[in-house]
Chains A and B, each alone.
Chain A
């Protein structure tokens, strides 16, 4: 009588184990499909905010000249390298009350309503060193250093500089430099 019961119970146990293993496989398999999608969306949102912020920083708030008008971002970049050299007439003087970290953080952290976001960044200016025929980079600003565990996105904006960057013997005409920002959320 004992052997009769034991055989049937073993098969039920095996069947139940198979069902549990199969269910686990299905759930894990389904999860692995949509996790990359979430990551992509988060990156897209950060890229959009960062790109917009650099873009509006490179748009003059007002303009009274029939020629080109300088921007806040240009003023910051002009102040970065060799600030003792006089600015070209069209250049925007650096506004010390609006350094990059204040202006950029205001843009990326502003939300509608009363709450603010909590984003962090590190920004560099990349340029072409004419004298050495290499690409150089200067730290523009950072509110936190990257430790390696963050998942930042990269946003860029080409900016016209009116002061020489390292490697320029003289600045005969304005030149483009690349402002690069790594942006992440805790």
Chain B
């Protein structure tokens, strides 16, 4: 009985060896656990960092290529876009957080494929992140967005931005009858069938004499890389008809022609105006509120909107390819043909050069406006 009690009080060598091996293995595995936790948590940190980086790229960078700017490239050439960026210019000290409306529209265009096209141009990194990028303008219920629905846990950054809306001119003879930009259609040209309305663009004045010390945020710049579009709306055209007959007048917009000139090197004058070849993808003509661009000639009831696409003014002012010559003068002429002689909107007697001057005068042209908006980037 005594011998049995002595044996029972001792631990066996087998137990000690097994327990020691177990503790060594346990300690080894346990030391890996903090690293395991840190790795899991690092993704959450990484999501916020990636969202921040993408927010900076979109709000403060103009993207690449910059000249010509990436948003002017066609779908066929979209492979050349290396990096998205919505900022108006690379002058971050003069246009902070100011976005280009053209870049915003191109960015949210459905021709880009989610997530691949955005992953390589805005998110970056080897990890297959999912994301949602959204933009909403102040006072609007419409949210432009790309990407999926964020899960419960994700990284996010919010940027307060302004979006530069393009300039435009609305010419309404019932509001400004007999303006200096058009001929007095009440008393003259009542027996003419062909009437011309021209728009004059002075590249020097627009690119060098802009508001706020030529701040890009308020410029109407025709020259790349910030070459913008312009829009001219001719409204209430019926009111300009001076018909001396009982036969009703029908209006046809027959053609749109572009002419250009530039300052001579001696600065004693400028070269004669000459025609510029155009293509139909350089501008859009919307007649009577139709959202589809018209093919000319086309009948007009009352309104015509001519939208010159971003980058087109640069192309029309480019004499040898590449960037436009800042000494260029441009004349864009719309030809209206009536079915018989009558007075009609006509700019041939106005100054300068018988055209409506598209300039920085807010009486003539609605100047660019910066609208408030908020942009969010969510990454998970």
Residues of A within 8 A of B (CB): 1, 3-4, 7, 11, 15, 19, 22-23, 26, 29-30, 33-34, 37, 41, 44-45, 48-49, 52-53, 55-56, 59-69, 106-108, 110-114
What is the CB-to-nearest-CB distance from A44 to chain B, in angstroms, rounded to a whole number? 7
Q: Hey, which chain A residues are within 8 Å of B52, CB to CB? A: 44, 48
Chain A min CB distance to B265 (Å): 27
CA distance A37 to B159 in the complex (A): 21
In the A-B complex, list the 8 residue pairs whose CB atoms are closest, starting with the nearest.
A52-B160, A4-B8, A63-B211, A30-B37, A112-B134, A112-B136, A63-B212, A63-B218
Residues of B within 8 A of A112 (CB): 134-136, 143, 145, 374-376
Known contacts A29-B34, A113-B143; decide if A56 and B161 are in contact (CB<8 Å).
yes
- Shortest C-beta distance, B176 to chain A (Å), equals 18
Q: Contacts A45-B158, A62-B368, A111-B376 hold; do A67 and B138 have CB atoms under 8 A apart?
A: no
User: What are 20 sample pairs from A and B whose C-beta atoms fall under 8 A apart?
Assistant: A3-B8, A7-B8, A23-B30, A37-B41, A45-B48, A45-B157, A45-B158, A52-B97, A59-B370, A61-B369, A61-B371, A64-B360, A64-B362, A66-B209, A67-B213, A69-B212, A107-B160, A110-B138, A112-B145, A113-B136
The prevalent SS among residues of B at the interface is mixed
Kindly state whether residue B98 has any CB partner on chain A within 8 Å.
yes
Check B96 against A22 for contact (C-beta < 8 Å): no
Q: Does B247 contact A (CB under 8 A)?
A: no
Known: A7-B9, A11-B11, A112-B145. A59 touches B374 (CB 8 A): no
Interface string of B11-25 (1 = CB under 8 A from A): 100000001000100
- Which A residues lie within 8 Å of B138 (CB)? 106, 110
Please tell me if the beta carbons of A45 and B156 are within 8 angstroms of each other in the complex.
yes
**Distance, CA A121 to CA B23, complexed state (A):** 55
* A3 near B98: Cβ-Cβ < 8 Å: no
Q: How far is the CB of A32 from chain B (nearest CB, A)?
A: 10
- For A50, give the chain B residue with the smallest CB separation: B160
In the bound complex, CA of A15 to CA of B8 (Å): 20
In the bound complex, do residue B212 and residue A110 qualify as a contact, i.e. CB atoms below 8 Å apart? no
Q: Which of B139-186 contact A (CB under 8 A)?
A: 141, 143, 145, 155-162
Nearest-CB distance from A14 to chain B (Å)?
Answer: 11
Q: Evaluate whether A30 and B134 lie within 8 angstroms (CB atoms) in the complex, with A68-B213, A110-B160 already known.
A: no
Which residues of chain B from 195 to 217 have any CB-CB distance to chain A below 8 Å in the complex? 209-213, 215, 217
Chain B residues with CB under 8 Å of A19's CB are: 26
Known pairs A44-B52, A48-B157, A111-B158; A3 contacts B5 (CB<8 A): yes
**Interface residue B33 (Cβ < 8 Å from any Cβ of A):** yes
Contact of B374 among A29, A68, A110 (CB under 8 A): A110
> Cβ of B100 < 8 Å from any Cβ of A?
no
CA distance A30 to B41 in the complex (A): 10
Beta-carbon nearest neighbor of B23 in chain A: A15
Please name the residue on chain B nearest to A1 by beta carbon. B8
Chain B contacts for A111, CB-based, 8 A:
136, 158, 374, 376
Give Cα distance in the complex from A49 to B97, angstroms.
Answer: 12
**Pairwise interchain contact A22-B158, C-beta atoms closer than 8 A:** no
Interface centre among B26, B38, B160, B375 (most CB of A within 10 A): B160
- Decide if B55 is an interface residue (CB 8 Å cutoff): yes
Are B30 and A26 touching (Cβ within 8 A)?
Answer: yes
B35 and chain A: residue at smallest CB distance: A30
CB of B372 closer than 8 Å to a CB of A: yes
Q: Which residues of B contact A53 (CB under 8 A)?
A: 160
Residue among B11, B217, B374 with max Cβ neighbours from chain A (10 Å) = B374
Name the CB-closest residue of B to A62: B369
Cα A41 to Cα B48 with chains together (Å): 7
Chain A residues with Cβ below 8 Å from B294 are none
Of the residues B9, B158, B212, contact of A48 by C-beta under 8 Å: B158
Q: Does B45 contact A (CB under 8 A)?
A: yes
Q: B50-63 toward A: CB 8 Å interface, digit per residue (1/0)?
A: 00100100010000
